[in-house]
Chains A and B, each alone.
Chain A
Amino acid sequence: MIKDLSIGRYYRGDSVLHSLDPRVKVILFVVYMVSVFLLTKPIGLLFSFAVATTLALLSKIPFREIIKSVRPIVFLMIFIFVINLFTIQEGEELFRFWVIVITSGGILRACLMSFRLFLLIVSTGILLTLTTTPLKMSDALESLFGPLKKIRVPVHEMAMMMSIALRFIPTLVEETDKIMKAQASRGAEYDTGNIIVRAKGYVSVLVPLFVSSFKRAEELAVAMDARCYRGGEGRTKLHPLKMRISDYVWFFVLLILAFIPVLAEWIFR
């Protein structure tokens, strides 16, 4: 279950989007998020869908993989759909039962809202998580937030923490699985019994997980020390971030692309 999470779900490839400077992608990520949230009409979402498709084609990632990244939020989409369906009361009334009133406007809004969420995840997923390695992402954040160092924000340390966290997610997932199995062998229950029994079952997993994480952290700190880690000062990089002309060009192109749906909505209003 945890494995489906789209953090660190990098899909290897060699498209324009893969090689684009991650800082550009982080900025575009924000821009796309804003642009999708500005949309409220079918026409805008239709254009936005076209843009997402374009991004998908640019990324050369199979559609199947992209859809996979949506899986974890299906529940949220359904939730948003249902909430909108029952709370929005506009247009024709189609159905009424006790306190439940379903209207045509409600259906439309419910569809639009959940579809908007879908587009949001897909386009940002393509831009960021699927085409950017976690490490590049933390590099980008470190670089973008760099100016904050002046006011003593530990930007380098935060980026290092993030990349270590990402590095250890698979390890901890594996470990959780191992501990759950061991405790199940001792009779722990996670899926049966009442809520207290279940909660107790999880204690038997969480405690060892914390203990071992602390041990890992300690050992990792020693290992990093042994490899001469001494903070961000004077550190060089194997893959330093460097903007090339093509990065500027693509930045510009993708920026325009982001606003086409908003523009379309305004034109066809």
Chain B
Amino acid sequence: MSRNPRNNETHSGPQEAVRAEDVLFSYTHQDSEEIQALAGVSITIEKGSYVVLIGRNGSGKSTLAKLINVLEIPDAGTITVLGLDTASEEHFWSIRSRCGMVFQNPDNQIVGTSVEEDVAFGPENLGIPTPEIRRRVDDALDYVGLKEYADRMPSNLSGGQKQKLAIAGVLAMAPEVLILDEATAMLDPVSRNEFLELVGRLRKEKGITVIHITHDMSEAYRADRVFVLEKGRIVLEGTPGNVFFESKRLKELGLDLPVFAGIISELCAQTGSERKKEYFVSRDASLKAARDILAKIKSSQAKSAESEYVCADTEDKAKEQAVLVVKDLFYSYEERGDRALDNISFHVNKGEIFSVIGHSGSGKTTLISHLNGLIRPQSGEIRLLDPENGAEWNTRKNADVKQIRKRVGLLFQYPEYQLFEETVRRDILYGPLKMGMDRKAAEESMLDAVTLLGLDPSLLDRSPFELSGGQKRRVAFAGIIAMNPDILVLDEPAAGLDPAGRREIFRYILELKKRGKTILLVSHDMDEAARVSDRILVLSKGRALFDLTPEELFSDRSRLRKIGLDLPESVLFLSDLSPDFKSLNRCVFGPDQVAGELIRAARAEGRNTREPDHVRRKNPSGRSSVSGGQS
């Protein structure tokens, strides 16, 4: 499936945009320990192609990008970009001006004080005459759809708009190669899609070579070629289909398959069918393969007797006890005037995982800032209940706030920034001590949190600033857990982590639930929320639209699409097949569970019996394999 949009070759010369040969590169870390970032990378990227570089954090993919753009020079080996050797000084600016780069953090790459000034920054540096800059800026802003924002301050743009601005800035330099260095990592799904559509359009219409670095596997579908990096080496390469086919290898590398590919892979494994590369080429191919495999099961099962599937009924609503009640909450920011929160009411029950889902800007952060009294309600109220002894606290009362902060642990997005102490130990202890725990209890609580999060105790006496990104995240998380709150409010706790890191975080969350903690999880990722949540609250433009169990919420796709959200991938997969299988339960998450459910439904269908009603009931054990069941 190699598409070839090289319609008009403007530059004669080599057909390769990038060629790297046996590239070695290492850099020195703080305490002069040498880190080998690239250990012999050879790669050829054709002009006009779309290439995805994928790998865990620290696999060397960003370093490779920097070498391509001459931000670094290889220790050994050569890199030629558009036929020019990066090691030779005379090519330096020529390469940089022809390779544009968009980085991860939108805020840290905007130089201009206004949108158009920022777009002009590159061309200005190239010494292009003013009228030509004007034309390029206008064209670039028009192309990315930010024309009406030309005079705005960049800080007023949303994350997605900022990344588009970064693209416009690159575009104005008329590049031939576009490097995206985890440029989508900080975006929500909607802006991420828009961003990637824009990139796709750039390649198609302008023939720009795209080198896209990511750790999100589903983005790799867009590529002509995928390169998987691990420890500074390319360990896997090929078309997306070929790479996804190697699902076992990917798992070993700590990477995830896209959901559709994961399901078909599981389905093959569980039915013993032969895995074929074509199953992995696209989402549709996976779906079609599933249909074929299931049809076979259906026909072979026609006569055989199968033990009837019994649906467990674990709905014991009687035990529900509200511990957090939000009632008629309104809030508007002075400067903006519109309502950030508009009449929000809900309650969270003891011991459940309650998810709040919505786009950036839907009011999620404002809402959670209310929950421990950081923001006091302008109208309405938030009450914290202790069902055991009937105590009650209200965030409106100053005297209660301290108690509330002790009981409600709040972890904001990208919590690494809250680390400040000299050692990890002191940082984790900060919260518990501030909350009035005595030294001994605090120490115990800290060690407990550290063990739970699998942090190496030898890190305790290191400075938190020396740790890797994933470790910092866990230290920050530990700092909240050590305060031993009853309710944990977690704002996108896995944001920006690679797939293995994300999995870890969710494992901890489920472990915390097992220990009887109540968890309020904020997310914009449907799949993630669906897998672990007992109930989901959907926020849109400051309004609480639905407050339902995942099963109820996912029974209707259109209402989610109306507000720009969609069903989880696994539910989409099942929905596509559900017309063929009457008894199919669509609310099953995680590839292994989905595959199992499909096989079950196909067999049931094959027996061709009139299904008794109860089989169609929901299947709580079909939740994620790691959910640990209802408490």
Answer yes or no: B483 CB below 8 A from chain A CBs.
Answer: yes
Cβ < 8 Å to A, chain B residues 393-444: 405-406, 409-412, 415, 417-420, 430-431, 433-435
Tell me if A167 and B154 are in contact (CB < 8 A): yes
Q: Which residue of B lies closest to A206 (CB)?
A: B420
| CB-based contact A134/B111 at 8 Å | no
Chain B residues with CB under 8 Å of A174's CB are 155
Of B105, B130, B169, B435, the residue contacting A238 (CB under 8 A) is B130
Q: A164: nearest residue on chain B (CB-CB)?
A: B111
Whole-angstrom distance between the Cβ of B170 and the nearest chain A Cβ? 8
Q: Does A89 contact B (CB under 8 A)?
A: no
Q: How far is B479's CA from A203's CA once the two chains are assembled, in angstroms?
A: 17
Asked if B129 lies at the interface with its beta carbon under 8 angstroms from chain A, I say: yes
Tell me how far the C-beta of B219 lies from the nearest C-beta in chain A, rounded to whole angstroms: 21
CA–CA, A212 and B113, complex, Å: 20
Looking at chain A's contact residues, the main secondary structure is helix
Indicate whether B519 reaches chain A with its CB closer than 8 angstroms.
no
Asked if A253 lies at the interface with its beta carbon under 8 angstroms from chain B, I say: no
> In the complex, which range does the number of interface residues on chain A fall in?
35 or more
A216 CA to B108 CA in the complex, in Å?
Answer: 5
On whether the beta carbons of A220 and B126 are closer than 8 Å, the reply is: no
Please, what's the 1-or-0 string for B102-114, where 1 marks a CB less than 8 Å from any CB in chain A? 0101011111111
Knowing A182-B415, A184-B374, A236-B124 are in contact, say whether A228-B420 is a contact too (CB < 8 A): no
Which residue of B109, B111, B372, B417 contacts A178 across the interface (Cβ within 8 Å)? B417
Asked if A244 is at the interface of the complex by the 8 Å CB criterion, the answer is: no
Contacts of B420 on A, CB cut-off 8 Å?
183, 203-204, 207-208, 211
A187 to B483, CA, bound (A): 10
Would you call A133 and B111 a contact (CB within 8 A)? no
Q: Does A64 contact B (CB under 8 A)?
A: no
Q: Name the A residues within 8 Å of B479 (CB-CB).
A: 186
Band of interface residues on B: 35 or more
Are B483 and A223 in contact, with the CB atoms below 8 A?
A: no
In the complex the two chains form, is B127's CB within 8 Å of A235's CB? yes
CB neighbours of A219 from chain B (8 A): 103, 105, 108-109
Q: Which chain A residue has the least Cβ–Cβ distance from B104?
A: A219
Contact yes or no, A236 B130, CB < 8 A? yes
The CA-CA distance from A235 to B127 in the complex, in Å, is 5
Q: Report B28 CB to chain A, min CB distance, Å.
A: 15
B282 at the interface (CB under 8 A from A): no
> CB-CB < 8 A to B100: which residues of A?
226-227
Interface residues of A in 11-28 (CB under 8 A from B): 12
Asked whether any CB of chain A lies closer than 8 Å to the CB of B356, the reply is no
Q: Which of B99, B137, B374, B434 has the most A CB atoms < 10 Å from its CB?
A: B434
- Would you give the shortest CB distance from B63 to chain A, in whole angstroms? 12
Is B278 interfacial (CB-CB < 8 Å)? Answer: no
List chain A residues, Cβ under 8 A from B101. 223, 226
Measured in the bound complex, the distance between the Cα atoms of B412 and A3 in whole Å is 23
Encoded as 1 (CB less than 8 Å from any B CB) or 0, chain A from 177 to 209 comes to 011011111111100000000000001100110
Residues 220-241 of A at the B interface (beta carbon under 8 Å): 220, 222-230, 234-240
Chain A's closest residue to B375 (CB) is A181
Q: How far does the alpha carbon of A240 sit from the alpha carbon of B109 in the complex, in Å? A: 23
Complex alpha-carbon distance, A240 and B465, angstroms: 43
Q: Is B121 on the interface with A (CB-CB < 8 A)?
A: yes
Tell me whether A66 is interfacial, beta carbon within 8 Å. no
B107 x A216 contact (CB < 8 A): yes
In the complex, the answer to whether A238 meets B117 with C-beta atoms within 8 Å is yes
Q: Is the CB of B155 within 8 A of A227?
A: no
B336 CB to closest chain A CB, in angstroms? 12
Quick check: B418 and A133 within 8 Å, CB to CB?
no
A199 CB → nearest B CB, Å: 14
Contact A134 B133 (CB under 8 A): no
Interfacial chain B residues near A181, Cβ < 8 Å: 369, 374, 412
Given contacts A166-B113, A186-B434, A207-B420, are A223 and B409 in contact (CB under 8 A)?
A: no
Q: Which residues of chain A are near B190, meaning CB under 8 Å?
A: none
Closest Cβ of chain A to B91, distance in Å, is: 13
Closest to A204 in B: B420
Which chain B residues in 131-188 approach chain A with CB under 8 Å? 133-134, 137, 151, 153-155, 169-170, 173
Chain A, residue nearest B398 (CB): A192
Of A8, A227, A239, chain B has the most CB atoms within 10 Å of the CB of A227
Contacts of B57 in A (CB 8 A): none
A53 touches B (CB below 8 Å)? no
B69, A226: Cβ atoms closer than 8 Å = yes
Q: Assuming A229-B121, A237-B124, is B483 touching A186 (CB within 8 A)? A: yes
Q: Are A222 and B374 CB-contacts (below 8 A) given A179-B418, A208-B419, A236-B129?
A: no
| A236 and B123 alpha carbons, distance in the complex (Å) | 8
Nearest CB in chain A: distance from B574 CB, A? 39
Q: Which residue of A lies closest to B485 (CB)?
A: A185
Q: Which residues of B contact A91 (CB under 8 A)?
A: none
Q: B116 contacts which of A164, A224, A238 (Cβ < 8 Å)?
A: A238
Are A230 and B418 touching (Cβ within 8 A)?
Answer: no
In the complex, what distance in Å separates the CA atom of A182 from the CA atom of B415? 8
6 contacts between A and B (CB under 8 A): A166-B113, A171-B155, A187-B430, A220-B111, A228-B93, A228-B173
